[in-house]
Amino acid sequence: MKIKIINPNTTWSMTEKIGLCARQVAAPGTEIVAVSPAMGPASIESHYDEALSVPGILDEIRRGEADDVDGYVIACFGDPGLHAAREVARGPVIGIAEAAMHAASMIGTGFSVVTTLERTCGIAWHLAEAYGMRRFCRRVRACELNVLDLEQPGSDAYRIIVTECRRAMREDKADSIVLGCAGMADLCKAIGRELGINVIDGVTVAVKMVESLVQLGLATGKRGDLAYPLPKPYSGMLENFSRL
Amino acid sequence: MKIKIINPNTTWSMTEKIGLCARQVAAPGTEIVAVSPAMGPASIESHYDEALSVPGILDEIRRGEADDVDGYVIACFGDPGLHAAREVARGPVIGIAEAAMHAASMIGTGFSVVTTLERTCGIAWHLAEAYGMRRFCRRVRACELNVLDLEQPGSDAYRIIVTECRRAMREDKADSIVLGCAGMADLCKAIGRELGINVIDGVTVAVKMVESLVQLGLATGKRGDLAYPLPKPYSGMLENFSRL
Amino acid sequence: MKIKIINPNTTWSMTEKIGLCARQVAAPGTEIVAVSPAMGPASIESHYDEALSVPGILDEIRRGEADDVDGYVIACFGDPGLHAAREVARGPVIGIAEAAMHAASMIGTGFSVVTTLERTCGIAWHLAEAYGMRRFCRRVRACELNVLDLEQPGSDAYRIIVTECRRAMREDKADSIVLGCAGMADLCKAIGRELGINVIDGVTVAVKMVESLVQLGLATGKRGDLAYPLPKPYSGMLENFSRL
Amino acid sequence: MKIKIINPNTTWSMTEKIGLCARQVAAPGTEIVAVSPAMGPASIESHYDEALSVPGILDEIRRGEADDVDGYVIACFGDPGLHAAREVARGPVIGIAEAAMHAASMIGTGFSVVTTLERTCGIAWHLAEAYGMRRFCRRVRACELNVLDLEQPGSDAYRIIVTECRRAMREDKADSIVLGCAGMADLCKAIGRELGINVIDGVTVAVKMVESLVQLGLATGKRGDLAYPLPKPYSGMLENFSRL
Amino acid sequence: MKIKIINPNTTWSMTEKIGLCARQVAAPGTEIVAVSPAMGPASIESHYDEALSVPGILDEIRRGEADDVDGYVIACFGDPGLHAAREVARGPVIGIAEAAMHAASMIGTGFSVVTTLERTCGIAWHLAEAYGMRRFCRRVRACELNVLDLEQPGSDAYRIIVTECRRAMREDKADSIVLGCAGMADLCKAIGRELGINVIDGVTVAVKMVESLVQLGLATGKRGDLAYPLPKPYSGMLENFSRL
Amino acid sequence: MKIKIINPNTTWSMTEKIGLCARQVAAPGTEIVAVSPAMGPASIESHYDEALSVPGILDEIRRGEADDVDGYVIACFGDPGLHAAREVARGPVIGIAEAAMHAASMIGTGFSVVTTLERTCGIAWHLAEAYGMRRFCRRVRACELNVLDLEQPGSDAYRIIVTECRRAMREDKADSIVLGCAGMADLCKAIGRELGINVIDGVTVAVKMVESLVQLGLATGKRGDLAYPLPKPYSGMLENFSRL
């Protein structure tokens, strides 16, 4: 089985970290391909960045289809382009916020999200609602870290995140922590050990969910809203997107 | 006051029609600029089309900011890129689904949307929920018309739409009809006259709402989620988007 | 175009202030008529006051219909009698809470209401829900001012309101403030300047919304719940209300 | 214990019928006083009628307080003036829609309301939501009977209502029927016998709920939103309402 | 009329206390039978305890049916087995959380629950939602008392509960307190007197509601989800439960 | 890894069928143990049956804990005892309704459930709400089959189910079908092939979800509502349940 993980930003150090975490949980027969798109923002910290990460994601899905990829993970906590990607892919496509929130709802009664910048908290709440997970989401907490701070060796990021997780445990009475950024994937185990609480990284959960769906023969239904897009002319810089 | 109306697809005949409808309701001092982006799909009929219309929309907002545009209308019923556009613009940005649904909620107790393809109905429901308008939305109805059918002289489109509106009146007990495509803007008055019911076209409502907000000195708040995006490198085909 | 603004309480100093604010934003051809009813409470600070302001409002609508009024604003933040007024009027009727909340939802992601007495906060929450605006309402905050304190020259009202607005910015992370009383209309601009945040007064927004709807040819639909009331006998003190 | 039942319309034949039904279920020591106000509409079939029934209701509450009434029932399915009445009364005040819907939620999983005119269905839905009963309400069905048709000896009203109840059983799979008009109180038993389903009349349920609350020493809490109204001047025709 | 109150735990001192409180409010002709089941947990403080209290409850319902019981109260704030009990009983069955929350919604606009252990708060929230009472529930507060602490003469329980009630008044602005454990029934009056707020004990409210429903001839509808269970073999220790 | 699948009814032919389906999707190193409890109902078709299946489930969890089971599946579409089981187990516990609904929400926008008896539809709706999946659930449809009809060789069950699935596709526009009974697990593939739509059997999905959670090191959090039950005396027939 071949699973493609798309880190929607163009920061390859993060992509490699994500790939590494994914490979640690993948089943023996699963091949993990982790990529960043050839276009787009270096990090995703706004609706603007998010919207402009989507062409690159869809481009990677198109390439993946040509490469017989079996399923995809979109590895940014805003799950950008998820529905568009599902229209284009044969196999399942899972976002990491989606995966993490669903998992949290199965192992507890209330999670808190710990994410990077305050300004992205609204995006997380919106996803919680769209996935039906709002009732399980106690709070979305920001650390006021930039996404790329997570890539700086020697940064305080780990300490700052742990401090916010502790607040979530004490103030929100959360029974699990959902990490709100793919760039935190490598910290998941350490935080869990330090705090003695379930800490959920969406990258690894999403890999297992894609594996599961593929094995069960389940992919996005093509009978309704998520059917393949109709062929039509695209123009200008995006001309190539008319060929699915 | 200068209002820019962005038809997110690249079909200029529709853009001109939309511009004409907008000018018919604009206040004396309002200049209407109606454009299609230089890139993107010829029509928007899927999540995929919608996602790929956003770079063109954001490009037009950027140009608009350089041209001292006071406010914007996004003239596609999926309101693509609305939040990203709000982050980038100084003035208000209104989507036509948003405008039409809000108006319907102020002049009645239950509207039905009459739109083009069945596969886009989920998008309309999602918007109704995101705007808080779900309680006013009786039903979203598809005519199974393609968007560009509305541009064909001599097509049956008008008849088909009227038939679906009649069903909405009878079966849904709707007290107003929201037209679910910017390409229907020119049909609004005729349908209303024929059926004796409020028929709401989002393009004209959105123009008046932008005019109102501008005059009241209200624009997207920059204190929270919708602050200007952080500057950062963009790469590949989207490199130019790093300059806001 | 003639717009009638009904201040549902009988305090004419407030009525004049409201009329003044309305005229400052009205379009050149719009005539603003601001009135208080001939009967009812001096201020509205309970369900009881609110209920008993409605006969006066409906009386003013009836007079307005005879005077060819094109649309109405109900200028009390509880939007008393809104649906009854819509049944009786030909043109649109907008409440100031309704107008302010809708506007806030189009220029931000979360507003807080700053109102007078704690005991009226429940009314504001109820309206937020009825209009579908609950998801945008971060909090309803009371200043523990009486409505008529706002009419006292030299009162501390402005300072107290500004203090509460600051709390809304800091604690609720609101990106706009909705003023929860028509009597605060004249303070809107000053508070906005002092705090650097969108401050929304429903009176002015409602005027622009009524203007917009009238120009678009949209009035309350008469096909459903909001059709003209059936004629029938009324008795006692309310006998005259049987003649619509 | 003295319970006052206020039929908010001025049709005394209905008031007497309601009083009779109430007395049939009242406890031995309970005195039932059934009245119509001295002012207001002959029947309530719109938001307009409803709003204008409230002064009369509040007048009757005021008189009741002077007469040491222990609790009140508002006997119109729109529960007009309920919150205002609660502010003014020492004892509990229950609306018949409120009582009936609560009871239905305790003896089944889904009720349908069968009411008079289509145009009042929105009011019933609104109440279901306000009381938290929306999840139990399968459908609100209109018979297209006028309220006063129920007072005509020899009318078809009974047959028409039974037919609509049958539809509710078959189409909505309702497990109980809530009668949507106080004027149907006398038909409750007969319909239940004919159809073999729980049929709930709000008048009788409300009487028992008021009795229960009074005996338990529970009345509207005066600590919050529903505290006694502040004293203040009232003017014009409503001058007397300033004296609570 | 015979009403059976089932304390689902096996602590008879609590059962007697509950019976005493019930008798104090029962109508003259009402016989109160208060029992604990012959099997199950000594107290209910988890989903596990709750689930395992249900066989005993159903056993008591079966006995009650043989004894011509007219209606039942389930006297544990988690309302365990409520729907199953309704399927089996001829007469009405009311849970004490259900009764208390409904009553609170009729005499105020927002209650807080004060219960025993933090770990049971989720159960109370779940019930609030299931009964449609979430909108009236300001907060669920735990005292961190064990259920059986309430049975210890000389314990601090009363003081601890009063302290938490005060917090609910001050912080939640609750206008009534719902006691979250049947074992607090005897404290209800004293707390209410001390704090000057409506304090609601579900046991007494439930008794009055069952009395009311029985007198009105209303019992669980047997046409739908809550019809009598189908007869079928039961095996092992539960063999006897196949005979309804 | 050892996964125990508990069929909560005592019909072993169904248990074996369920075990077989589970083994077909389990990973190479996963051992599947499928059991029925030693006590309880032969099939689960009411709240009563469901409640009385829970002691047997909890007994099997207790045995499983002694046997070092890594995770559990509760294989009845009502997910009986799920929260109680989670309190008792070290590893994850997943219900088949939960698993199937979550999966459906990741591969489509709207599923319909096709289940056995009409009277159980309310249970499925309740679960959809509790899991946050209501927004994805188009409809719950009953075939009016008894659960044990599915065990009869030569029954019409397959045809009847397929017919109902077709209705779901046509009338509900569902883009996937969730099978509403563990006894349908073996029909899943055939129905999917015949109808060309995603058909989701919760047993197989739940197995993959438990496998995934176990591998990720995620189990029910013990910090909050779902901590291990407090030790306490149990009496009568359930005495043994005091020992966890």
The distance of E43 to chain F (nearest Cα, Å) reads 8
Is pLDDT above 90 for F244? no
CATH of domain A2-96+204-242: 3.40.50.12500
Please give the average per-residue pLDDT across F66-80, as a whole number: 98
Record: contact A52-B241, CB cut-off 8 A: yes
Longest dimension (CA), chain F: 55
pLDDT at D211: 98
pLDDT tens digits, one per residue of E90-101: 999 999 999 999
Q: Does A137 lie at the interface with F, CB-CB under 8 angstroms?
A: no
The distance of E23 to chain F (nearest Cα, Å) reads 27
d(CA B222, CA D142): 49
pLDDT at D111: 98
Nearest residue on chain F to D110, judged by CA atoms?
A: F122
Record: contact A56-B81, CB cut-off 8 A: no
d(CA D224, CA D92): 15
Q: Does A193 lie at the interface with E, CB-CB under 8 angstroms?
A: no
Which residues of chain B have a CB within 8 Å of the CB of A86?
A: 47
Record: contact F173-B118, CB cut-off 8 A: yes
Which fold does the domain A97-201 belong to in CATH?
A: Rossmann fold (3.40.50)
Is pLDDT above 80 for D50? yes
pLDDT at A151: 86
Record: contact B56-A123, CB cut-off 8 A: no
Q: Does F118 lie at the interface with D, CB-CB under 8 angstroms?
A: yes
Select the residue of D43, D51, D238 nearest C40 (Cβ to Cβ).
D238
- Cα C188 to the center of its chain, rounded Å: 14
The domain segmentation of chain C, as residue ranges, is 2-96+204-242, 97-202
pLDDT at D147: 87
Record: contact D173-F122, CB cut-off 8 A: no
The distance of E196 to chain F (nearest Cα, Å) reads 32
Label residue B243 by pLDDT band (50, 70, 90).
low
Touching pair D, C by Cβ (3+ pairs < 8 Å): yes
Is pLDDT above 70 for E222? yes
- Tokens representing F220 are 């029910």
Question: CA angle, corner C96, sides to D59 and B77, nearest 5?
Answer: 130
Please give the average per-residue pLDDT across E69-86, as a whole number: 98
Which residues of chain F have a CB within 8 Å of the CB of D136?
A: none
Record: contact E173-C118, CB cut-off 8 A: yes
Question: Of B96-110, E110-124, E140-154, where does mean pLDDT reach its minimum?
Answer: E140-154
Concatenating the DSSP letter of every residue in chain B gives: -EEEEE-SSS-HHHHHHHHHHHHHHS-TTPEEEEE--SSEESS--SHHHHHHHHHHHHHHHHHHHHTT--EEEE-STT-TTHHHHHHH-SS-EEEHHHHHHHHHHHH-S-EEEEES-GGGHHHHHHHHHHTT-GGGEEEEEE----GGGGGSTT-SHHHHHHHHHHHHHHHS--SEEEE--GGGGGGHHHHHHHHTSEEE-HHHHHHHHHHHHHHTT----SSSTTSPPPP--EEGGGGGGG--
CB C109 within 8 A of CB B109: no
Record: contact D42-C83, CB cut-off 8 A: no
Which residues of chain D have a CB within 8 Å of the CB of C151?
A: none
| Residue carrying structure tokens 């309740």 | F126
Nearest residue on chain A to E129, judged by CA atoms?
A: A135
Is pLDDT above 80 for F144? yes
Q: Does A51 lie at the interface with B, CB-CB under 8 angstroms?
A: yes
Nearest residue on chain A to B50, judged by CA atoms?
A: A84
Touching pair B, E by Cβ (3+ pairs < 8 Å): no
3-state secondary structure of E219: coil
Q: Does C61 lie at the interface with D, CB-CB under 8 angstroms?
A: no
Nearest residue on chain B to D120, judged by CA atoms?
A: B109
Nearest to E146 by CA among E135, E132, E160: E160
Is pLDDT above 90 for E155? no
The distance of E162 to chain F (nearest Cα, Å) reads 24
Q: How many CB pairs under 8 A join C and E?
A: 3
CATH of domain F97-202: 3.40.50.12500
pLDDT at C147: 87
Record: contact A10-B236, CB cut-off 8 A: yes
CB contacts under 8 A, B 171-190 vs C, are: 173-176, 189
Which residues of chain A have a CB within 8 Å of the CB of C173?
A: 118
Which residues of chain E have a CB within 8 Å of the CB of D84?
A: none
CB C173 within 8 A of CB C199: no
Record: contact A173-E122, CB cut-off 8 A: no
Residue C29 has a CB neighbour count (10 Å cut-off) of: 11
Is pLDDT above 90 for C151? no
Q: Does C161 lie at the interface with B, CB-CB under 8 angstroms?
A: no
pLDDT tens digits, one per residue of F94-111: 999 999 999 999 999 999
Record: contact F109-B122, CB cut-off 8 A: yes
Please give the average per-residue pLDDT across C95-121, as a whole number: 97
Q: What is the 3-state secondary structure (H, E, C) of chain F?
A: CEEEEECCCCCHHHHHHHHHHHHHHCCCCCEEEEECCCCEECCCCCHHHHHHHHHHHHHHHHHHHHCCCCEEEECCCCCCCHHHHHHHCCCCEEEHHHHHHHHHHHHCCCEEEEECCHHHHHHHHHHHHHCCCHHHEEEEEECCCCHHHHHCCCCCHHHHHHHHHHHHHHHCCCCEEEECCHHHHHHHHHHHHHHCCEEECHHHHHHHHHHHHHHCCCCCCCCCCCCCCCCCCEEHHHHHHHCC
Per-residue pLDDT of chain A (244 residues; tens, 9 = 90+): 999 999 999 999 999 999 999 999 999 999 999 999 999 999 999 999 999 999 999 999 999 999 999 999 999 999 999 999 999 999 999 999 999 999 999 999 999 999 999 999 999 999 999 999 999 999 999 999 998 888 888 889 999 999 999 999 999 999 999 999 999 999 999 999 999 999 999 999 999 999 999 999 999 999 989 999 999 999 999 999 996 5
Record: contact B109-D122, CB cut-off 8 A: yes
Record: contact B225-A122, CB cut-off 8 A: yes
Q: Does E39 lie at the interface with F, CB-CB under 8 angstroms?
A: yes
B2-95+204-242 to CATH, choices 3.40.1000.10, 3.40.50.12500, 3.40.50.300, 3.30.470.30: 3.40.50.12500
Q: What percent of chain E has pLDDT over 70?
A: 99
Q: How crowded is the C-beta side of B158, counted as CA atoms within 13 Å? A: 14
Q: List, in order, residues 6 or more apart from A152 with CB less than 8 Å away.
A: none
Record: contact A173-E118, CB cut-off 8 A: yes
Is pLDDT above 90 for B73? yes
Q: Does A206 lie at the interface with F, CB-CB under 8 angstroms?
A: no
Q: Does A25 lie at the interface with F, CB-CB under 8 angstroms?
A: yes
Radius of gyration of chain F (CA): 17
pLDDT tens digits, one per residue of C60-105: 999 999 999 999 999 999 999 999 999 999 999 999 999 999 999 9
Label residue F122 by pLDDT band (50, 70, 90).
very high
Q: Does C27 lie at the interface with D, CB-CB under 8 angstroms?
A: no
Nearest residue on chain E to F127, judged by CA atoms?
A: E130
pLDDT tens digits, one per residue of B151-201: 888 889 999 999 999 999 999 999 999 999 999 999 999 999 999 999 999
pLDDT at A154: 84
pLDDT at D243: 67
Mean pLDDT of chain D: 96
The distance of C24 to chain B (nearest Cα, Å) reads 10
